[in-house]
Amino acid sequence: MYYLKYVIFSFSIATILSSIGCGKNCKDAKYSFSMDETFSPEKDTITVGDTLWVTSSHSTTFQDLIRNAEVDFSNSQIGSNIGILNFPDTSQTVLGAVNDFTIIKVYGNEVGNDNIPTENRGFFYEEISGNYILKLGFIANQKGVFTISLGNSISTVKRKGGCEKADIEIDNANTNNHLYYYQNFRPGYQISDYERKHMYCFKVY
């Protein structure tokens, strides 16, 4: 039986600011937002030494999916825990593959709270000119079949205001995220909705 740990659970990051206390005039609101991320080039195969880029950006004003209203969520630390896994030929269990790539930071700040260092890296988005931006490059150092997943930003708290919190879903927007690599690794398995929205699979030659 195939067992794929850490792909099925949400690669999410609760920011360190969630522990900040509220002032007496704070809003105890909870919002639900969504934003996209895209990998390029959108190819199912790359070669060792190639760079795969992921870009994610959104205005600091979001549409709240609960109240259907615009919300200014500027001055917040939106983060994503990025999972990097390998589908080995000789095992039924995925392997952490962070060390199989060199990560280039164009926009974004490393969090430093990676709960499984071989499998994920946490990054905060940068807030620039009214937009949240994350752009990273992944230089392939090893051959194999891989998946990279950007996790949702859970219980994100505004740095000013204290109690305004949001759960932010970060979905993959590629036309093809090559999930057949995952299906081949787990024949007969029904891929979950979360996995379809977050996994981007590819092969390195």
Tens of pLDDT, residues 110-134: 986 567 889 999 999 999 999 999 9
Domain count, the chain: 1
With cut-offs at 50, 70 and 90, classify the pLDDT of residue 158.
confident
CATH for 95: 2.60.40
pLDDT at residue 14 tops 80: no
State the residue range of the domain holding 34.
27-204
Structural contact between residues 96 and 84, judged by C-beta atoms closer than 8 angstroms:
yes
17 lies in some domain: no
2-11, 116-125, 154-163, range with the lowest pLDDT: 2-11
184 lies in some domain: yes
Q: How far is residue 44's CA from residue 50's CA, in Å, rounded to a whole number?
A: 13
pLDDT value for 113: 58
20 vs 85, higher pLDDT: 85
Share of the chain above pLDDT 70, in %: 82
8 lies in some domain: no
pLDDT at residue 5 tops 90: no
pLDDT digits (tens, 9 = 90+) for 159-202: 765 678 999 999 999 999 999 999 999 999 999 999 999 999 99
6 lies in some domain: no
13 lies in some domain: no
137 lies in some domain: yes
pLDDT value for 140: 98
Angle ∠(85,135,50) on CA atoms, nearest 5: 60
pLDDT at residue 1 tops 50: no
For the segment 10-38, the average pLDDT, to the nearest whole number, is 61
143 vs 6, higher pLDDT: 143
2 lies in some domain: no
